[in-house]
Amino acid sequence: MANASGLVAPTVPSLKRRFSPPLGIYRSAFWFYDGVSRRALCFSAAQAAEKLSPAQPQSRRLVSKGCKLVGCGSAIPSIQISNDNLSEIVDTSDEWISVRTGIKNRSILSRQDSLTALATEAAQKALQMAEVEPNDVDLVLLCTSTPEDLFGSAPQIQKALGCGNNPLAYDITAACSGFLLGLVSAACYIRGGGFNNVLVIGADALSRYVDWKDRGSCILFGDAAGAVLLQSCDSEEDGLFAFDMHSDGEGQRHLKASMKEDKTDSELGTNGSLLGLLPKGSSSYSCIEMNGKEVFRFAVRVVPHSIELALEKAGLAVSDIDWLVLHQANQRIIDAVATRLEVPQERVISNLANYGNTSAASIPLALDEAVRSGKVRAGDTIATAGFGAGLTWGSAIVRWG
């Protein structure tokens, strides 16, 4: 069974006896833990068969393909809502919101706008920066909790991009942790599946699931899309140093948007007939329900610990980090995590004030702005972490470029 570090327990006794390092198999990929570099390496079954040949000496290190971040892009809707605008519809003020969250503005999609189009725009910018053609994309991962199709929106992005080779495209649903999970998934496809170019897109339109009369939640969320291109490289250039991921279903009650229960017609089911038990076929989800205090406590507790675990796996210290890029949920959370890790404020990237909480889009959106402004440069080491509904959380230590 795979654990949070990406390692898998040994399942083939003969291999376990032959090799002392931890080794495991997950579907068609083999995981190997390199005790020297302290990294989990993933490679295909074909690669593993060659590398685990009895003819090779036992001391030989296993080498897998690496991956690196080579392009990013973002897109935001044209409608901007300020704190003052919100004070016209709920009992709040710019000062009340700013002090408690750090948010000043947020952008939202209009009823005519499409999240798919926004995600496509972000993906196009990432491809342009990476100088990669759509036909060279091997996989599109859309990290979203608000798809415009129940069965997923990623294939529509693949179509809009003009990927003529019909690469696989699918959605990943993990709320505000979604982009991080997509990033790690992309790395696994490259390291173990032979993929060369993987688009990871974080895009959400939570404004469509906000109760605009609830000042506790409507002030927080905005819509956006961000994307990165992960590209294969030699293992020596690998840019994903380590990761750490978790979930805890017990915390679901603190942050959720559950399916609404449809009441069947009173005329149906009075005699216990099957017809009276069937859903009406108009299912929908409730608005976001959040216990802000509990989510705050959760985030400031688990996020620093997760980053510390990822750093330990990477063999790095906090002082090795050039930038801290967290999910942009609340400025108080960002500040608390930075303080716990002893990361100076000048090395913390935050654009929360301008966009609010954009869920899965927040990390790639912040990264894209930092790269295009010249703040983040090639070779910089970044500690990033996502956390949110599920409850889910995780972190990754990556190098840009």
* Dist. CA 311–CA 316, nearest whole Å: 5
- Is 135 annotated as catalytic? no
- Is 287 annotated as catalytic? no
Q: Which one-letter amino acid corresponds to residue 361?
A: A
Taking CA atoms, 256 is separated from 143, 175, 176, 218, 348, in Å, by 17, 10, 12, 14, 28
- Is 327 annotated as catalytic? yes
Kindly name the residue from 246, 254, 327, 351 that is annotated as catalytic: 327
Q: Which of 246, 279, 241, 247 is nearest to 263 (CA)?
A: 279
The CB-side HSE value for 68 (13 A sphere, CA atoms) comes to: 16
Query: Which H helix or E strand runs over 312?
Result: helix 292-314
Asked if 27 and 2 count as a contact pair (C-beta separation under 8 A), the reply is no
Kindly name the residue from 72, 176, 188, 287 that is annotated as catalytic: 176
Residue 103 has which token pair? 């948010």
Annotate 346-400 with DSSP letters as a single string: GGEE--HHHH-B-GGGHHHHHHHHHHHTTSS-TT-EEEEEEEETTTEEEEEEEEB
Residue 237 has which token pair? 């250039």
User: Could you list the active site residues?
Assistant: 176, 327, 357
